[in-house]
């Protein structure tokens, strides 16, 4: 597997990736469509907006098997929901993150293997806190477990426009107060 920035040359492979997503995966994603037009729109937006899109590519086949999206902009709805939960979001500290994996790659540990790279990207972007892009659907326990396993903490529930329940979650990459972030082992400085 390779995690790399989305390029214009990925348009057709990205369209194949989007088109192959199951109805269940589509229900959990935030794309406006799952076709070549959407893939073109995503690729045409490269370096135009506040977003960074990375693809997870199966190297032997060249197949796109994941799309990981970062946004440096926060929506008014995100800011309001987190404020209601007692957290102040700012565009200098926070970014939004949303992953989508091909159905046949879900549950295989690929997302967990890629996650250290996700946190490194956030750090390189100067964002020590990551919130979920659109939250996570409350009826998606596998995704909630994935986020919790990778350090995200629940912030609060909210109702989607379609009436379904979603959960906001946040990952704070800064060391806990009183910790330097350096680990020591007994007998080793």
Give the DSSP letter of residue 181. Answer: S
Which sequence spans correspond to the domains of the chain?
2-172
Residue 74: what are its φ and ψ, rounded to 5°? -110, 145
Burial per residue of 18-33, b for 16 or more beta-carbon CB atoms within 10 angstroms, e otherwise: beebeeebeebbebee
Are 30 and 18 in contact, with CB atoms under 8 Å apart?
no
| pLDDT for the residue numbered 107 | 86
| pLDDT for the residue numbered 48 | 79
| pLDDT for the residue numbered 183 | 38
Full-model pTM? 0.83
The structural architecture, per CATH, of the domain 2-172 is 3-Layer(aba) Sandwich (3.40)
Are 120 and 139 in contact, with CB atoms under 8 Å apart?
no
Which segments of the chain have a pLDDT < 70?
A: 178-189
- Report the DSSP pairing between strands 63-71 and 2-5: unpaired
Distance (Å, whole) CA 174 – CA 179: 10
Which residue reads 């959960």 in tokens? 167
Distance (Å, whole) CA 42 – CA 10: 10
Distance (Å, whole) CA 157 – CA 167: 4
| pLDDT for the residue numbered 125 | 87
| pLDDT for the residue numbered 178 | 60
């Amino acid at each position: 597997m390779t995690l790399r920035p989305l390029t214009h040359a990925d348009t057709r492979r990205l369209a194949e990736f989007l088109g192959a997503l199951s109805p269940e995966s589509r229900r959990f994603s935030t794309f406006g469509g799952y076709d070549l037009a959407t893939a073109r729109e995503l690729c045409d937006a490269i370096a135009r907006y506040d977003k960074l899109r990375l693809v997870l590519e199966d190297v032997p086949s060249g197949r796109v098997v994941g799309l990981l999206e970062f946004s440096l902009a926060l929506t008014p709805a995100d800011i309001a929901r987190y404020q209601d939960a007692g957290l102040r979001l700012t565009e200098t500290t926070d970014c939004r993150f949303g992953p989508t994996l091909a159905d046949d790659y879900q549950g295989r540990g690929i997302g967990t293997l890629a996650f250290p790279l996700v946190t490194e990207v956030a750090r390189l972007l100067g964002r020590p806190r990551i919130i979920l892009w659109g939250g996570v659907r409350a009826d998606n326990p596998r995704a909630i477990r994935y986020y919790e396993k990778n350090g995200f903490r629940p912030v609060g529930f909210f109702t989607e426009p379609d009436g379904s329940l979603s959960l906001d979650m946040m990952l704070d990459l800064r060391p806990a107060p009183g910790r330097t972030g350096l680990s020591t082992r007994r007998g080793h400085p």
